Amino acid sequence: MPDATSPVPPGPPTSVAGGPLDRVPAPAIFVVSGLTLYLGAAVAVGLFDTLGAPTVSWWRIVLAAVVLLAWRRPWRRRWTRHDVVAAALFGTALAAMNIVFYVGIDHLPLGVAVAIEFTGPVAVAAITGRGWRERGAIVVAAAGVVLLAGVTLEGDLPRADVVVGLVAVLAAAACWAGYIVLGKRVAGGGAGIDGLAVGMLVGALVFAPFFGASVPTVVLDLPLLGFLLVVALCSSVVPYVLDQVVLRRVGTATFSVLLAMLPATATVIGAVVLQQIPSWPEIAGLVLVSGAIVMTAVGRE
């Protein structure tokens, strides 16, 4: 796997490295990323009754790809076959992650869904690690997920919604694991945001046969298209561009520590925007999952 110092092929600049964001602490970048990501998700929830959760997610990818392609114009750089394949796999994993995650938050509270989704990053860190922290993190994360799932099962949600939501979020967790691994490869290989743009285009095309029938409905409804553009900017363009900035600066272990801030961010957004107030057991589950992420990263490079 190439590292962040690998030569970048000739072409336009592929990241904002060396720019103003390099002077901003990585945790501050993550706070902004998390707030925009889940604010966009909160807006998207309001569109589920109109288009359905998976379709909203697909449009998020489509519009984000359009914005990134217009901004980056990645065709100006020289692409190797390896670059294209890596970007395509990355984009497919990203699109799948978003689609199944939106199905999850259509059936579960936002904060609970995000916390359970963290089993993906925890599993990657634990499998690749060798120490007691990594093994212990699996136990801690599992305790948090069991606590969260138990609270949800005993709550007011219909059992069918809970089952569908849990299956969808666990699928999103697996896709998130792939996103982290492939995203580091894209960032370290020099493609950076250009690779993100190409990847999102591929992801949109891969799932077009399933959701493309919604195109006439959306393009003829300008207010709906506007809301979808807000979702794309908040939940895809801003956070994933910032992810590429951070991934060029830190290793996957440090990145995992920073990820631990996201369940708390999702809980805040869910409480403020969607009035999904967490219970004390849910908060305990969130703390356990966040702690597992930190455990897998302490002492690793």
pLDDT digits (tens, 9 = 90+) for 14-64: 444 446 666 777 777 877 888 898 889 889 989 999 999 999 999 999 999
Most confidently modeled of 80-84, 193-197, 202-206?
202-206
In a domain, 7, yes or no: no
Mean pLDDT, rounded, for 93-99: 94
In a domain, 14, yes or no: no
In a domain, 227, yes or no: yes
In a domain, 21, yes or no: no
At residue 143, does pLDDT exceed 80?
A: no
Q: What is the dihedral of CA 183, 188, 194, 198, to 10 degrees?
A: -40
- pLDDT for 97-126, tens place per residue? 999 999 998 988 877 787 788 778 777 766
Number of H helices, E strands in the chain: 15, 0
**Domain assignment of residue 100, given as a range:** 27-297
At residue 129, does pLDDT exceed 80?
A: no
At residue 153, does pLDDT exceed 60?
A: no
Burial track 66-90 (b if 16+ CB lie within 10 A, e otherwise): bbbbeebebeebebeeebeebbbbb
Query: How many domains in the chain?
Result: 1
In a domain, 16, yes or no: no
Q: 6-20, 49-63, 132-146, 191-205: lowest mean pLDDT where?
A: 6-20
CA 59/CA 199 separation, integer angstroms: 15
In a domain, 6, yes or no: no
In a domain, 259, yes or no: yes
Which pLDDT does position 62 carry in this prediction?
96
CA 257/CA 262 separation, integer angstroms: 10
Q: What percent of the residues of the chain are helix, what percent strand, and what percent coil, each to the nearest 5?
A: 80, 0, 20
In a domain, 116, yes or no: yes
Which pLDDT does position 101 carry in this prediction?
92
